[in-house]
Amino acid sequence: MTLACIISPFAVACLIFVAITNKFDLPFLWVGKGLAGVSFVFGLIGMAVGINLAISGTGYSLGPAAIVSIIAVILNLVAAIIGGLVREEQ
């Protein structure tokens, strides 16, 4: 989950740079798309591991952190989909 939190701002920065400069350069576009997808995958893995740890009888319980994790993964999925829809300028 920590990696997802570290990678997300870099993906956002790349995609915002592309939007602000209005130059759909392939390197920034592909890096932004790739980092958004990787952030989603890392968040999904972190959420699954955290929920599994909580329900496996270790004494931990699902609290507000699990809810925030689920919401974050959903937002990462939306960002990855929207990032994937951005196309190179013709």
Any domain includes 90: no
Overall domain count for the chain:
1
Q: What is the mean pLDDT of the chain?
A: 79
CB 15 within 8 A of CB 31: no
Whole-number pLDDT of residue 14: 79
Q: Judging by beta carbons within 10 Å of its beta carbon (0-12, 13-18, 19+), is residue 20 exposed, middle or buried?
A: exposed
Task: For the chain, list residues with pLDDT below 70.
Answer: 1, 24-25, 88-90
Give the list of residues 6+ apart from residue 53 with CB closer than 8 angstroms, or none.
60
Whole-number pLDDT of residue 47: 83
Any domain includes 58: yes
Using CA atoms, how far apart are residues 29 and 60, in angstroms rounded to an integer?
Answer: 41
Any domain includes 59: yes
Query: Which residue range(s) make up the domain with 30?
Result: 2-85
Residue at 22: amino acid letter: N
Using CA atoms, how far apart are residues 6 and 34, in angstroms rounded to an integer?
Answer: 14
Any domain includes 38: yes
